[in-house]
Amino acid sequence: MMSTELTKLDGLVKERFAKEIKGSNKVQRLVDYLSSLTGTRTDLEVDTALDVNVDGQHSLMVQLRNEDDSVRIHFQEKPKKLFGRVIVQANNKKVAKIFEERDSNFELVREYLHNEKFIASLKELENYTDPDQSDVSTQDFPCIHGHWCGAPFCSGPEAPATPVDACCKEHDLCYGDSGYFDCECDSQLQYCLLPYVQAGSEYAIIVFEWFNLQPCS
């Protein structure tokens, strides 16, 4: 079983890492690029900084976002990843775009309608004091959590039991549209899981790290 420990970085340690991440040329380039899409200058602050220890391997994980949460940036040290998500208006609808750094460029890896209903459902599920908590069993084979997180045969049809389970459901539906191991679906899943990884959800971390290790197409 994977052993995971998370240490939230606060105070001077958080400030030091925040300064390093925000001062990075790559992060600043991504901030500038996302700002150009919104049409306004975006000032980001560090939302969370974590030291993630998975089986003895340490990695820094930092998330930045602006005041209205229309722009988020996620930096992960090992394996090195840099994501950016921006919400823009297009044809009177809100569209979320996720960019990932690849070969020193920022590539659009996912574009989808900003699903207000899905966001609202997540907020309802966030009433759980623990993002892994549920009033129903979340250990039924072949699922590792809830009704949607697990091997290929864990796909509902029950409603998601937790926010983590809701992310897995969206991922399954994305695979249904785009095919198994689609890179864009996997990137969207990891971005959906980020808040729960940072909250210390054991199952979010397991799913997040598993997709770090899997090839996609």
Per residue of the chain (217 residues), give pLDDT as tens: 455 566 777 777 777 777 777 778 888 899 889 988 888 877 888 777 777 776 677 777 787 888 887 888 888 777 778 888 888 888 888 888 888 888 888 888 777 776 666 566 555 555 444 555 544 444 455 688 888 887 667 888 888 888 888 889 988 888 888 888 777 788 778 878 877 876 777 788 778 877 766 667 6
The two structure tokens encoding residue 27:
């992060």
Domain match, 178 and 205 both: yes
Closest Cα to residue 46, out of 25, 75, 70? Answer: 75
Q: Domain containing 127: what range?
A: 115-217
Which residue has tokens 């500038």? Answer: 32
Domain match, 108 and 204 both: no
Domain match, 148 and 105 both: no
Measured between alpha carbons, how far is 46 from 31 in angstroms, rounded to an integer?
13
Tell which phi-psi region holds residue 138, choosing left (phi > 0), alpha (psi between -120 and 50) or beta: alpha
Instruction: Give me the helix-helix angle, 116-125 and 163-178, nearest 10°.
Output: 150
By CB atoms closer than 10 A (0-12, 13-18, 19+), residue 90 is exposed
Which residue, of 59, 80, 114, is where some domain finishes? 114
Q: What is the pLDDT of residue 3?
A: 56
Q: What is the pLDDT of residue 120?
A: 62
Q: What is the pLDDT of residue 140?
A: 54
Domain match, 79 and 172 both: no
Domain match, 106 and 122 both: no
Measured between alpha carbons, how far is 195 from 80 in angstroms, rounded to an integer?
18
Domain match, 131 and 154 both: yes
Number of independent structural domains in the chain: 2
Q: What is the pLDDT of residue 131?
A: 52
Q: What is the pLDDT of residue 12?
A: 74
Which residue, of 92, 114, 136, is where some domain finishes? 114
The two structure tokens encoding residue 115:
């699903």
Q: What is the pLDDT of residue 151?
A: 67
Domain match, 152 and 192 both: yes
Q: Could you give the 3-state DSSP secondary structure of residue 176?
A: helix
Measured between alpha carbons, how far is 46 from 178 in angstroms, rounded to an integer?
33
Domain match, 91 and 2 both: yes
Domain match, 123 and 176 both: yes
